[in-house]
Structure 1
Amino acid sequence: MDGEQVVRMWTFLDPEADNGRSKALKQMIETFESENPGIKIVVETQDWEQMTPKFFAAHAAGNAPDIIWCIMDEMGAALDLGALEPLENLFLKDWTEEEIADIDDSFFNFGVRDGKHYQITHSRNYMAMYYRADLFEEKGLEVPKTWDEFIEVCQALTEVDSETGIQRYGFGQAFNVDKVDPQIMTSLLLDTQGNLFTDDGKANWANAAGEEALQFQLDCITKYGITPEAAVNLTGEELFTEFAAGKYAIITGGAVRVPTVRADVPFEPSAVQLMLYPSADGNGNSPSTINGWCVGVWSGSKVKEAAGKFVEAMMSPESDELWVTLGGQLAIRKSTMEKLGDFYEDPNNRYLTVVADGITNAGWPQPTDYPVSSWKNDLNRAAQMVMVDGSSIPDALASVAKDFDERNGG
């Protein structure tokens, strides 16, 4: 129609795909367009790993999408580039204190600069451990509280599956540098020293704590036999696929994937549950990475108001409920959690409560005061250097720390 405003949005979600998050997004777009006939939302689905770097290049070229789903790892770089519009310039200026209070949490305040908010975090994610609750029950195992207990549990679960004949390992890991998720050495390091970086943004893992963390991670292969050597080249995507096929009893992964994983397993879907990371002494849990997608408006957009209107619509009370009940995601609003109390109490949705507990009590938000590009890839590369190239652990960590510092200007 004449005068129609077209809002381009880059996201990894495909509104035509058959999964909960995509279906939820499609409903939101249809509702928004029916209520705003002068605005057309055009989704340009992107590869999730390449989307943010591609956005930075498009920003520099002046042809970026109006709405971007920026991976949380790169939020600091996005702010340094001036690529995002303050939401106060769009819709937040009109919000009441009560409305702000409903969404005010660590995610909302992620990346705040000079009191301005630049993003709303969607697909709120937390790195946790997926486990087969049916196998735990079968063997009378409890969720481990310490890393020593974790090893014992994984050893008990490492065997040939009596029903499928598959060699099952207690713990699956993935050290490939493609489509990377943080591995357990991240939590071990955070538990020991509280951060992966120094105050001025340099890598802080080429030290005794880093060496001990990487040694434990690799000992799962070489000493305890609970992880196969194939972990060296396995990608995060392949890890999920093999978990669904029954090859592992426990893996690490982003909690946001639970609904998708459950849809893929041949066994009882509710057997896929989440647990938080153990700790050295069992007093609490080792910290883990908070992640998600920072949804914001491109600072160079010619339709900022319309783009901001849809960003606001994606977090409305109605949309937030859709993200939770259809998409299996964490709520953005406190009011949504209160309204959906019965939903959270359902045993099939217990994982959402586990994730909320982890975020609140053992969550580590990545810094935005300095760039931290590709740190997960660096730590995985260190594991590969030791296992494949024969490097010593100190040399491998020193090498990737040097690469990180040079790449990020540290």
Structure 2
Amino acid sequence: MKNMTCLLLAGTAALSLAACGSESAPSQTSDGIVTKITKPVELQFWHSISNPVHAEVLDKLIAQFNDTVGKEKQITVTATFNGSSSDLYSNVIAAIKAETAPDVTLALRPYVADYLQTDLVVDLTPYIQDETVGMPDYEDIFEGLRNGGTTYAKEGTYSLPIHSYSEVLYYNTAFFEENGLTVPATWDELIETSKKIHEITGAPAFGWDNLAGSFMTLVKQYGGRYTDPEGNIYFAEEDSETALKVLNLWKENVGSGIWRTAGEDMFFSGPFANEQIPMYVGDSVEASYIPAKNPELKWSTAPIPQVSDDTAANLSAGHVITALNQSGNPEKAYASYELIKFLTSKEANLAVVTAGTGYLPIRQSVADSEEYKAYVADGHDFLTAAVEQNDRYFYEPAFTNDTTTSSAVTSAVRTMIQEVAENGTDPQTALDNLKQTVGLN
């Protein structure tokens, strides 16, 4: 990603000049934005949705936009599938260099941080706050997800959440009931429960799919700081004591045989479905895979354990949606906002989350709606735990600077946990290795 970022930086000046040469802007509001379209606008929307069920929902939403808001405001949207999330990112990078960037694209937040190395990303703030075309229900979006669009290195709102999921604790309800176990709510309780399970089975009791995510979450829960939008790596310097505490937690519990990493299994949904491990932390979207692997398994989900209410944290992830205005056309920028507003609305979000996509509400109104409650009650109660944690949501910080990127730090953190948990490396040594990898030494 760092090499692609350099290419972006190298092309920024040329792209800025291209924008300056665009047609003159129509009349603007006091915030300097255009909120009316004077002639038809065509938007290119790129996405990475391959799930047939979700793709069908998306196609219907785009058609609905074109028939309603688009028809009223002279906007026509063409949606194009561009491969996986990483493929889509690469294609957007190539399109930016070729000056053929899409007007709106799905992305992951680290990708948006890269796009912000140019001046193409549209700041949605003035549109969201506009009295005429704004989003009066903007604060209906869960705060942790909402903040994700405003916590890049550049001031403004450069993305909105659209497809969200979070981590939950999966547990084998039959095993817990048979052995008189209580679902743990704190890490101290989880460790004690793990010990009891290990005594019963002689095997590891718990795992965590996302090793880097476990580190981010536990650092926050223990009162430390991970990184920030400017790329300050606090856990490796000022808050290293907290980092070492988390590393020792992994070392001790894997070393004693009560925890394990996913290893060659990659994810714990397989070992969990095969009843090889009775509890693990994984993304809420994994719930759709478990029944297919073992229809007879009795299981459920719960909020992930916490250290305390004061430092409660739950990692959230998923697609965000962002606008790139390479043409410099203010009417296209406004049209792009209208599409983003539509695709993140209550109605659109409700359509996505009740179609079996595995994604979660991004809005309180969706979580509270009778339609969603009925969907959850109809065999999807495993989604409840994830939504219950919405006041604890946080996104992985996204940044790109001259030294490193948030993705590179995440990769280094994953390696650090593996060194400690799988190879028994001393935590301080593993942390020193990470510092060297990310350029802190």
Q: Shared topology, TM-score over 0.5?
A: yes
2:417 match: 383
1:29 match: 62
SS, match of residue 154 in structure 1: helix
* Change over 3 Å in CA distance of 1:328–1:160 after alignment to 2: same
Cα offset for 1:296? Answer: 1.0
* Change over 3 Å in CA distance of 1:208–1:315 after alignment to 2: closer
* Change over 3 Å in CA distance of 1:358–1:101 after alignment to 2: closer
1:312 match: 341
**Deviation string, structure 1 residues 148-207 (Cα, Å, up to 9, x no partner):** 32123234445898xxxxx97421345xxxxx5634333322122331137963323343
Assess if the C-alpha contact under 8 Å between 1:155 and 1:226 holds in 2: no
CA distance in 2, matches of 1:264, 1:187: 29
* Change over 3 Å in CA distance of 1:88–1:148 after alignment to 2: closer
CA distance in 1, matches of 2:311, 2:126: 39
Aligned equivalent of 1:289, options 294, 303, 315: 315
Q: Which stretch has the larger CA shift, 344-353 or 184-193? A: 344-353
SS, match of residue 311 in structure 1: helix
**Residue 170 of structure 1 aligns to which amino acid in structure 2?**
A
2:245 match: 212
Confirm whether residue 357 of structure 1 aligns to residue 397 of structure 2.
Answer: no
Aligned equivalent of 1:8, options 45, 70, 75: 45
**Residue 187 of structure 1 aligns to which amino acid in structure 2?**
T
**Residue 243 of structure 1 aligns to which amino acid in structure 2?**
F
Alignment of 1:292-303 (within 5 A): 292-300=318-326
Cα offset for 1:60? Answer: 3.7
Confirm whether residue 47 of structure 1 aligns to residue 84 of structure 2.
Answer: yes
**Residue 184 of structure 2 aligns to which amino acid in structure 1?**
P
CA distance in 2, matches of 1:44, 1:97: 28
2:280 match: 251
SS, match of residue 301 in structure 2: strand
Assess if the C-alpha contact under 8 Å between 2:161 and 2:321 holds in 1: yes
**Residue 217 of structure 1 aligns to which amino acid in structure 2?**
W
Cα offset for 1:283? Answer: 5.5
CA distance in 2, matches of 1:159, 1:45: 49
Assess if the C-alpha contact under 8 Å between 2:62 and 2:79 holds in 1: no
Confirm whether residue 79 of structure 1 aligns to residue 91 of structure 2.
Answer: no
Cα offset for 1:215? Answer: 2.1
Confirm whether residue 272 of structure 1 aligns to residue 300 of structure 2.
Answer: yes
* Change over 3 Å in CA distance of 1:313–1:96 after alignment to 2: closer
**Deviation string, structure 1 residues 24-43 (Cα, Å, up to 9, x no partner):** 32332343345457735232
Confirm whether residue 332 of structure 1 aligns to residue 346 of structure 2.
Answer: no
* Change over 3 Å in CA distance of 1:388–1:83 after alignment to 2: farther
* Change over 3 Å in CA distance of 1:339–1:359 after alignment to 2: closer
CA distance in 1, matches of 2:393, 2:412: 21
CA distance in 2, matches of 1:159, 1:64: 57
* Change over 3 Å in CA distance of 1:391–1:108 after alignment to 2: closer
Assess if the C-alpha contact under 8 Å between 1:379 and 1:400 holds in 2: yes
Task: Report how many aligned residue pairs link the two structures.
Answer: 383
Cα offset for 1:144? Answer: 1.0
Alignment of 1:64-213 (within 5 A): 64-88=101-125, 93=130, 94-96=132-134, 98-103=136-141, 105-112=143-150, 116-158=156-198, 169-174=204-209, 182-197=212-227, 201-206=231-236, 207-213=240-246
Assess if the C-alpha contact under 8 Å between 2:105 and 2:323 holds in 1: yes
Cα offset for 1:214? Answer: 1.3
**Residue 197 of structure 1 aligns to which amino acid in structure 2?**
T
Q: Which stretch has the larger CA shift, 191-200 or 126-135? A: 191-200
1:240 match: 269
Assess if the C-alpha contact under 8 Å between 1:39 and 1:306 holds in 2: no
Quote the RMSD (CA, aligned, Å): 3.7
Q: Which stretch has the larger CA shift, 145-154 or 363-372? A: 363-372
SS, match of residue 117 in structure 1: coil
**Deviation string, structure 1 residues 270-300 (Cα, Å, up to 9, x no partner):** 7232322232xx6577523232322011232
Cα offset for 1:69? Answer: 1.8
Cα offset for 1:88? Answer: 4.9
SS, match of residue 166 in structure 2: strand
**Residue 275 of structure 1 aligns to which amino acid in structure 2?**
P
Cα offset for 1:101? Answer: 4.1
2:99 match: 62
1:177 match: none
* Change over 3 Å in CA distance of 1:49–1:172 after alignment to 2: farther
CA distance in 1, matches of 2:98, 2:311: 45
Assess if the C-alpha contact under 8 Å between 1:343 and 1:349 holds in 2: no
Instruction: List runs of 5+ in structure 1 lacking aligned partners.
Output: 162-166, 175-179
TM-score (structure 2 length as normaliser):
0.73
SS, match of residue 129 in structure 1: strand
Aligned equivalent of 1:343, options 348, 356, 374: 374
Assess if the C-alpha contact under 8 Å between 1:87 and 1:118 holds in 2: yes
CA distance in 1, matches of 2:369, 2:289: 26
**Residue 84 of structure 2 aligns to which amino acid in structure 1?**
D
SS, match of residue 214 in structure 1: helix
**Residue 247 of structure 1 aligns to which amino acid in structure 2?**
Q
**Residue 129 of structure 1 aligns to which amino acid in structure 2?**
L
**Percent of paired sites with the same residue:** 17
CA distance in 2, matches of 1:71, 1:331: 17
State the structure with more CA Rg. 2
* Change over 3 Å in CA distance of 1:189–1:321 after alignment to 2: same
**Residue 379 of structure 1 aligns to which amino acid in structure 2?**
V
Cα offset for 1:122? Answer: 1.6
